[in-house]
Chains A and B, each alone.
Chain A
C-alpha cells in the first residue's frame, strides 16, 4: 500500500477517531461526512469523536491463507467487532489463542503493526484488539 493513502487515515487507525451525527446522535466509524439516516439534516453537523476502544466480537474467522504481507501472524483471528458506542469494524484479535475466541467475547483496542511495505518501505500501524 502506498504511504500517503495510509497516512491520511492515521487518526482513525491510531486513535479510533470517528463521527457522531449532531442531528440524531448516531456514532460512525470510520469518519463519515453525512449521516445515512439524516441525510441533508446532518450536513455540517457531523462531529469528530474518539471511541473508547472496547467492544464485543460479532463474528470471526481464523485466517490461514492471508495476503503475503500479513503472513507472519498466520494463522490469525479476523473479527467483526461492535464498539460499545455502536459502530462495527473489522480487526484482528491478538494476544490470545484462536480457539479461545468466541462470538460475544469482550475485547479492547491495542496498538500494533498492521503490515510493512517490504523490507525497505514504511511500516503501517493501527488498532488490533485483544481480550479485555
Chain B
C-alpha cells in the first residue's frame, strides 16, 4: 500500500448562506482546494463527494456528476466522480475511499469534497431529513428524534459516571470559544455555561446549545500519492492511519449506550495503522453533534478514561492550551454542521493546524492530529490520523 498525503485544502464559510446554492458552495470549496494544491484539472484522476441528502435538502441527486461538471472536469477529462453517503460520516468515508484509491495504486491524485445545503427547506423538514440517519422504522416511527437519542446517551452517562449538566455545557462553551477564532465558523460568539443551561429544552436533559446547528457549507481536500506530493506543495500532510467501523443503526441495539463501539473500533484500526497510541495525538477534531457525543468521543478515542470525559471538559483539558485541544475549528457546534461536509472540514482543520496556518487558534507544536466522524447515533465511525511530512 502506498502512502497518501493531503496536498491541498479548501473550505467555504459555514452558516446560513442564503445567496449561495448547493452547487455554488461545492464549487467554491473545490476551486479553493485545487488552487491551494498547485495541481491542474488534468492531473485529477477521480472525484469523491461526501453528501448525506441533497435529494431531500435541495431536490438534487446525482451530485457527483454535478460537482464534476461545474468544477470543469466532466467535459474534458471525464473524471470518475462518486458520491458517498454515510450520514454525518459521509465526508469522512469519502476521504477514506479516496485514500484507498490512491493507496491501492489505482489513482495518483484524487479530490474529495463534502457539501450540504440544509437551509433551503424549513427547520422542521431539515430536522426530519437529518433524522433519516437513525432507524426510521424502529426509532423515528415511535417518536424518537435525533436529539432525544443523544439525550438518552447523556442521561445514561450522567447516571453511570456522574457526568454533570454543567460539564456537558462546558463542551459547548469551549467549542464556541474556539469557533470565535475561526473566520469560517457559523457562530463566532463566546458563550458561558448559563447560555447553555438557559437555552430552550430540546430533549431533556439536552438543550438548544447542546446541539449542533443546521448549516450550509462545503469543504474539499486534494490527496496525492506521498511520493509525488512534494511536487505540488512544500507542506504535505501524510495520512498516517485511517480506520472505519460500523455498529447497529438503532441506538437501542447497542451493547452500551455510553460508548460508541464504532468509534472504539475505528480508532483501534487507525492507531494500529499509524503505529501510535492515543497519548501521541496532539489535537483532534471530534464529532460533537451534541455535547454528550463529544464527551463520549474523547473517552472512546482513548484521550481520557471512560467516565472521565465530563471532568476533562470541566477542567478545560480539551480547550486550546489544554492537555489535548479538541475541535479548534469550533466543532460541529460552533463551526457548523453541513452534514456531508463535516468529515472533510475536519481534515481541513487538521491540515491547517499541521501546516501552522491556524492563526489565533494554532495549537503550538502540533505534529499529529486526529479527525473523528460519526454517522447517525454511531452506526458508522471514521477515525483518521494525520501527520506533517516535514
Contact = CB atoms under 8 A, between A and B. Distances in A.
Direct contact of A and B (CB under 8 A): yes
Interface of A: 1, 5-6, 9, 13, 30, 58-68, 70, 73, 75-76, 78-81, 88-92, 98, 103, 114-115, 124, 126-128
Contacts of B145: 63, 65-67, 78
Interface string B238-281: 00000000000011110001000000000000000000000000
A9 B206 contact: no
A59 B142 contact: no
A22 to B, nearest CB: 20
Nearest to A88: B252
Contacts of A80: 152, 251-252, 257
Contact of A60 (B139, B155, B201): B155
B149 to A, nearest CB: 8
B148 interface: yes
Interface of B: 124, 127-128, 131, 135-145, 147-149, 151-153, 155-156, 159, 200-206, 250-253, 257
Contacts of A9: 137
Given A89-B138, A90-B138, A126-B142, A61 B128 contact: no
Contact of B124 (A67, A73, A114): A67
Nearest to B136: A1
B306 to A, nearest CB: 17
Contacts of A6: 141
Nearest to B250: A90
B159 A78 contact: no
A27 to B, nearest CB: 12
A64 B251 contact: no
A88 B138 CA distance: 11
B254 to A, nearest CB: 8
Given A58-B152, A76-B143, A78-B148, 15 more contacts: A6-B141, A9-B137, A58-B257, A60-B152, A60-B155, A61-B147, A62-B204, A63-B148, A63-B203, A65-B145, A73-B143, A80-B252, A90-B251, A103-B156, A114-B142
A68 B143 CA distance: 10
A5 B136 CA distance: 10
Nearest to A74: B143
Contacts of A92: 142-143
Please classify the interface of chain A as helix (H, G, I), strand (E, B), loop, or mixed, using the class held by over half of its residues: strand
A60 B152 CA distance: 5
What 4 A-B pairs are tightest by C-beta distance, nearest first? Answer: A61-B151, A62-B204, A59-B152, A88-B252
B34 to A, nearest CB: 40
Contacts of B147: 61, 63, 65
A36 B175 CA distance: 38
B231 to A, nearest CB: 47
B138 A61 contact: no
A126 B206 CA distance: 27
18 contacts: A6-B141, A59-B155, A59-B156, A60-B155, A61-B147, A61-B152, A62-B203, A65-B147, A65-B203, A66-B145, A67-B127, A78-B144, A81-B252, A89-B252, A90-B251, A103-B159, A114-B141, A114-B143
- Most chain B C-beta atoms within 10 Å of own C-beta, residue among A5, A91, A92: A91
A20 to B, nearest CB: 16
Q: Which of A9, A13, A78, A127 has the most CB of B within 10 A?
A: A78
Nearest to B140: A67
| Residue from B143, B200, B202, B203 whose CB has the most chain A CB atoms within 10 Å | B143
Nearest to B207: A64
A65 B152 contact: no
Contact of B155 (A68, A88, A103): A103
Given A9-B137, A90-B252, A61 B155 contact: yes
Nearest to B208: A65
Contact of A67 (B128, B137, B138, B204): B128
B11 to A, nearest CB: 30
A78 B152 contact: yes
A113 B127 CA distance: 22
A60 B150 CA distance: 10
Contacts of B152: 58-61, 78-80
A67 B156 contact: no
A62 B201 CA distance: 9
Given A63-B203, A80-B251, A1 B141 contact: yes
Contact of A91 (B142, B159, B201, B202): B142
